[in-house]
Amino acid sequence: MGGHTLIVTNDFPPKTGGIDLFALEMTRRFPPDSVTVVAFGGPDADAGDAEMPWEVVRLPVRTLLPTPRTISAVCELARERGADSVWFASSTPLGFMARKVRHRTGVRRIVATSHGHEVWWARIPGGRQVLRRIGDSVDALTFISKYTRARIAPALSPAARRRMVEVSPGVNPWGSGVGLPAEGEVPRGEELGEASADGGRARARHGLGEGPVVLSVSRLVPRKGQDRLIELWPSVVAVHPEARLVIVGTGSYEETLLEMAEASAASSSIVLTGRLPDADLADLYAAAAVFAMPCRSRLGGLEVEGLGIVFLEAQAAGVPVVVGRSGGAPEAVIDGETGLVVDPGDLGAIRGAVLELLGDPERAARMGAAGRAWVTSSWTWDARYEVLAGLLGRG
Ligand code: GDP
């Protein structure tokens, strides 16, 4: 497959959210000399770029916006590199420049990828107009879940709606699915093998004893529902005194969650680890009996979970999941088979789901195995890349 693709993105390492991971997992699958990543700048933004096998051009702004200067820089790069396709890894707002890029360069195919936050854009008047223009300027606007598609599509023209294609997140075939390199590290591949995961190592490292571990991994923000887990935890420990709740990640809600954990009657069995390297995370998945993230929608449905890569990653590691009913999150699990979907506003329901799985380890193990089989066959980054590459005319 020939051609050169410009990947224009505000989401890329060293940032570490779900969209950054999405952009990285797609980028690493292109032949490295056939892509140029155009990304944000700022202090240390380029720390790991030299080790990446593809070219990364950092523009001198912390956030790329479709300003005349940025559009000119993108067009110049497209011409210099002979790019025939452009991928906007997150459609808003950068996809707004698609029309100009097409007119001013030899680029023939343009694809923009929507995630969870486009649901918000689709709900506000100015945002809808931006989305409509993007939809009309690109060859395909992709979506990550049926939920987000249903919310975004009404903002688009009928023609753009017909060009929507599903490209959801995935996991890596080698096991746990965790694949984001640590800051400044070379993007990793197969060496993060299943065999390297060691639950005993995680138990020793975090002082978890021998009891069942309930794990939650994600950015620490109110939407993800780690506060609910801390609230209900004493009632879980009342039934399973040896159980441990392990919350991994960092974010704006960290201080609040730390205070809640400290004030809890079950504080000695709650561990907040902060951000961990992927290898530690793989060890924790190997130790976990249950993965729980009772995510919730906020701001009247403007802020939702688009899908939740962490649910896929947990299932890929063979761990059953407890999933909050928010946005597209229920699509990341087969309710009753690979995990349980709960109403995130109902503390009793979340507690019930966690206890149901802790109380029946055989069923939990069956669910974990089913989740692993489902996710590693139906949710791979490799398959997503094939779709994206095809849309970019590189299939
Ligand atoms: P989003 O940021 O809201 O899109 O959340 P997602 O659940 O969709 O994706 C978050 C990604 O960041 C997943 O791949 C997680 O494994 C990863 N992640 C979140 N916190 C940590 C952490 O502390 N360590 C590591 N290694 N990965 C993390």
113-129 per-position pLDDT tens digit: 999 999 999 999 899 99
Q: Is the pTM of this model over 0.75?
A: yes
Cβ(218) to ligand 1 under 6 A? yes
CB-based burial label for 194 (10 Å; 0-12, 13-18, 19+): middle
Q: Is the CB of 313 under 6 A from ligand 1?
A: yes
pLDDT recorded at residue 369: 94
- Whether 231 is in the pocket of ligand 1, judged by its Cβ within 6 Å, is no
Residue 193: predicted pLDDT: 41
Tell the residue nearest (CA) to atom 9 of ligand 1. 18
276 lines ligand 1 (CB under 6 A): yes
The pLDDT value recorded for residue 186 is 34
User: Of all protein residues, whose CA lies closest to atom 12 belonging to ligand 1?
Assistant: 17
Residue pointed to by tokens 């609040």: 256
Ligand 1: does its nearest atom lie under 6 Å from the Cβ of 249? yes
For the Cβ of 324 lying below 6 angstroms from any atom of ligand 1, the answer is no
Helix axes 309-316, 18-27, angle to 10 degrees: 70
Residue nearest to atom 18 of ligand 1 (CA): 218
Q: Which of 119, 192, 278, 309 has most ligand 1 atoms within 8 Å of CB, for mutation?
A: 309
Contact 210, 289 (CB under 8 A): no
Task: Name 389's Cβ contacts closer than 8 Å, sequence gap at least 6.
Answer: 1, 29, 30, 395
Identify the segments of the chain with pLDDT beneath 70: 1-2, 173-196
Q: Mutate which of 221, 246, 310, 319 to test ligand 1's pocket (most atoms within 8 Å of Cβ)?
A: 310
d(CA 113, CA 133): 14
Distance between alpha carbon 392 and the CA centroid of its chain, in Å? 22
Q: Is the CB of 173 under 6 A from ligand 1?
A: no
Residue 99 CB less than 6 A away from ligand 1: no
Distance of CA 153 to the CA centre of its chain: 21
Q: Is the dihedral of CA 377, 286, 233, 299 positive or negative?
A: negative
Question: Does the CB atom of residue 310 touch ligand 1 within 6 A?
Answer: yes
Atom of ligand 1 nearest to the CA of 21: 14
Ligand 1 midpoint to CA 125 (Å): 31
Residue nearest atom 1 of ligand 1, based on CA coordinates? 18
For the CA of 313, the closest atom of ligand 1 is 16
Give 74-107 pLDDT, tens digit per residue: 999 999 999 999 999 999 999 999 999 999 998 9
Task: Give 55's contacts (C-beta < 8 A, 6+ positions apart).
Answer: 35, 36, 37
Residue 76: C-alpha distances to residues 6, 8, 104, 286, 337 (Å): 11, 13, 9, 48, 51
Are 288 and 321 in contact by the 8 Å Cβ rule? The answer is: no
C-alpha 196 to ligand 1 mean position (Å): 20
Query: Measured in angstroms, how far is the CA atom of residue 16 from the centroid of ligand 1?
Result: 7
Ligand 1 close to Cβ of residue 340 (< 6 A): no
